[in-house]
Amino acid sequence: MKQSIAALFDLDGVIIDTEPQYDIFWRNIGEVYHLGIVDFERVIKGTTLPAIMSTYFSHLPPEEQARIEQANHDYESQLEIIPIAGAPEFLAELKQHHVKLGLVTSSSDKKLQSVFEKMFLKPYFDTIVSADRITHGKPNPMCYLLAAKDLDVPPERCFVFEDSFHGIQSGKDAGMKVVGLATTNSKASIANDVIAAIPDFTHFHLKDLLGLGDFG
């Protein structure tokens, strides 16, 4: 590789298999507060907590909003952290070959701290862009553009790994090559919006990633 490339990873549904746990929490919240939104837990995937609160719960008194936020933080601290199959090995392979790595997530720093205490992840990444570093969350491309700037890699030389529709759109709008993880949504539902759709990282390696690039 004459020039650097970067691999930018979402967290939930890409590196760790937490989405089914989040589904339980947000489905319950949607029912408790009578939002009347079908599949609310799926609608908000890839969205930051501040965006969820401002979009769907701004009508509630501040103290009630605070209760939802605290319940979310408490729930996150108890999440079972299970890696997506092959993800740790793939990160290690990329790191070994000096590929620049970024973690780009809608999670807060507080949630990330809890995850890092349970799983060896942080040392892999050369930059981390969390919800606390941005003003516009996915599907806005701000988070991915910030990661590319941190790593000093042009967007067109960045690969994005995403599972949610919002995340995929964010990576595409940043001008990056998006690989879709069919962990949250079906392969058929994301295939047209990504350069490749994979079930996990079990059979995906650096050579496969490089094969998806067209760098001239």
Query: What φ, ψ does residue 29 adopt, rounded to 5°?
Result: -60, -45
Q: What digits encode the pLDDT tens for the residues 97-144?
A: 999 999 999 999 999 999 999 999 999 999 999 999 999 999 999 999
- pLDDT for res 108: 92
Q: Which residue has the higher pLDDT, 132 or 2?
A: 132
- Catalytic, 10? Answer yes
Fold of the CATH domain 6-18+81-210: Rossmann fold (3.40.50)
Q: Indicate if the pLDDT at residue 2 is higher than 90.
A: no
Helix H or strand E segment including 196: strand 196-198
Q: Active-site residue among 12, 193, 200, 208? A: 12
Please say if 12 is a catalytic residue. yes
60 falls in which pLDDT band (50, 70, 90)?
very high
In the numeric block, the tokens 């719960």 are attached to 57
Mean pLDDT of 50-55: 95
3-state class of 162 per DSSP?
Answer: strand
Per-residue confidence band for 213, with pLDDT thresholds at 50, 70 and 90:
confident
Instruction: Quote the pLDDT of residue 111.
Output: 92
Q: Where are the domains of the chain?
A: 6-18+81-210, 19-77
Do the beta carbons of residue 179 and residue 160 sit within 8 Å?
yes
The secondary structure of 69-129 as a DSSP string is HHHHHHHHHT----BPTTHHHHHHHHHHTT-EEEEE-SS-HHHHHHHHHHSS-GGG-SEEE
Q: Tell me: the pLDDT tens digits for 144-200?
A: 999 999 999 999 999 999 999 999 999 999 999 999 999 999 999 999 999 999 999
Say whether pLDDT at 71 is over 70.
Answer: yes
Q: Which of 10, 23, 193, 200 is catalytic?
A: 10
Which token pair is 102? 């970024």
Whole-model pTM: value is 0.88
Query: What pLDDT is recorded for position 1?
Result: 43
